[in-house]
Amino acid sequence: MTPENLLPALADYVLQHGLSDVSLRPLAKAIGTSDRMLLYHFGSKSALIAALLDYLARNYAEALDTAFPQAVAASRKECVMQVLAIVRTDPFRPFMRLWWDIIAGAASGNDAYRESAKVIAEQLLDWFEAHMPQDDPDPKQGAKLLFTLIEGALMLDVLDQGHLADAGIAAAEL
Amino acid sequence: MTPENLLPALADYVLQHGLSDVSLRPLAKAIGTSDRMLLYHFGSKSALIAALLDYLARNYAEALDTAFPQAVAASRKECVMQVLAIVRTDPFRPFMRLWWDIIAGAASGNDAYRESAKVIAEQLLDWFEAHMPQDDPDPKQGAKLLFTLIEGALMLDVLDQGHLADAGIAAAEL
DNA sequence: CTACAAGTGTAGCAGTCGCTACAATTCGAG
DNA sequence: CTCGAATTGTAGCGACTGCTACACTTGTAG
């Protein structure tokens, strides 16, 4: 049993229970081992978290590609709405909870969190750029705009206020 | 010494040290009292946090009005950029860190956090609507759009990627 | 078979957590 | 002054934290 083999189970647990309050003993129990073993494999809790964040970031891109349809939107507005519709489905909810944990950690100065979030954000931005409407006049900057909107909308979703973002986007030119 | 008198000092501490990892003993020591007293005044830690969030939400609106200039932007784009420029100054940094703590808590299912964040977000949206360009064709929906953009940009700021939001906004029509 | 490294269980350390029991003090109302 | 309420200090409980010491069992290479 190598550390790498443990990562999927660890990721499952963390997706379900959050990252900020995780502690070794319950985590170990949930995946059928002991805190002693997690420390043996990873050296320390922070190293475990770092490996876990790396794993999540590495696996996020492919999760995106499998979950998102290849449909190309006709307009920027349609593109945003498509992505939002998908990202709001149940399978993505655990990841969103984790996402805000990571952002909060990064905001508090945790560099490992920030770096991991950066990787994920970059991948998402790249994905966005590749999925812009074919006739978009400026896909590169457009992707940045849509990405910013999406993140703002996801934040409002946390407050059950996603409809505000929807309304603002629906009424906009973009 | 009533609980209300303690709130400003508590807010100062929390703005500096974050909300997610706060514990009673260091908090009490920092404001010159004891954990025993905090519990005496507030009943429990969660009640203290609730009172603190309420206090922060109540005081946020006036902080907005004193910190933001009354200048009216000529366009939506200019409006966003003005707000971003101010919200990115040093005095606002502690609040931003706290903000993402609250969002992460809300995302993890903490209803007190979510309600407090909702109040703050509502106030910010109202403020936005009142400060839209005078000739804006649809200030109500426009404010929602700009608010969404601002929150997305602030999230990217956490990752030192605010420039992405800036570029996207700069190139957009809005 | 031997020897050595990898892996694992048990027990525990030193620390922190929210919270409470108990007692002491302070203070204003009668 | 007297009595009861409000306030505060001390000490500690039971639970949890990351982590480690020590012993033990494996598995494998020579």
**Using CA atoms, how far apart are residues B114 and A159, in angstroms rounded to an integer?**
6
What's the first-to-final CA gap in chain B, in angstroms?
51
Q: Which amino acid is at B23?
A: S
Residue B59's pLDDT is what? Answer: 87
Nearest chain A residue to B93 by CA distance is A107
Residue A1's pLDDT is what? Answer: 67
Tell me if residue B5 falls in helix, strand or coil: helix
Q: Is the CB of B29 under 7 A from strand C?
A: no
Instruction: Provide φ and ψ at A17, rounded to 5°.
Output: -110, 0
- Sites in chain A below the pLDDT cut of 50: none
Residue B1's pLDDT is what? Answer: 67
Cβ-Cβ contacts under 8 Å, B161 against chain A = 118, 121
Contact B171 A142 (CB under 8 A): yes
Contact B159 A117 (CB under 8 A): yes
The minimum CA-CA distance between B13 and chain A, rounded to whole Å, is: 14
Mutate which of A145, A146, A154, A174 to disrupt the B interface (most B C-beta within 10 Å)? A145
Give residue-wise pLDDT tens across range B29-71: 999 999 999 999 999 999 999 999 999 999 887 877 787 777 7
pTM for the complete prediction?
A: 0.95
Provide CB contacts within 8 A for B49, sequence distance 6+: B19, B22, B112
Cβ-Cβ contacts under 8 Å, B117 against chain A = 158-159
Judging by beta carbons within 10 Å of its beta carbon (0-12, 13-18, 19+), is residue A137 exposed, middle or buried? exposed
Cβ-Cβ contacts under 8 Å, B103 against chain A = 100, 103-104, 155, 158-159
**Using CA atoms, how far apart are residues B48 and A136, in angstroms rounded to an integer?**
51
How far does the CA of B21 sit from the C1' of C16, in Å?
12
Nearest to A42 by CA among A99, A80, A73, A4: A4
Determine the CATH number of domain B3-170: 1.10.357.10
**Using CA atoms, how far apart are residues B129 and B125, in angstroms rounded to an integer?**
6
Q: Which nucleotides of C are covered by protein (CB under 7 A)?
A: 7-11, 16-21
Residue A70's pLDDT is what? Answer: 74
Give residue-wise pLDDT tens across range B77-105: 999 999 999 899 998 899 999 999 999 99
User: What value, to the nearest 5°, has the Cα angle with vertex B157 and ends B152 and B159?
Assistant: 105
Mutate which of A88, A93, A148, A157 to disrupt the B interface (most B C-beta within 10 Å)? A148
pLDDT surpasses 90 at B153: yes
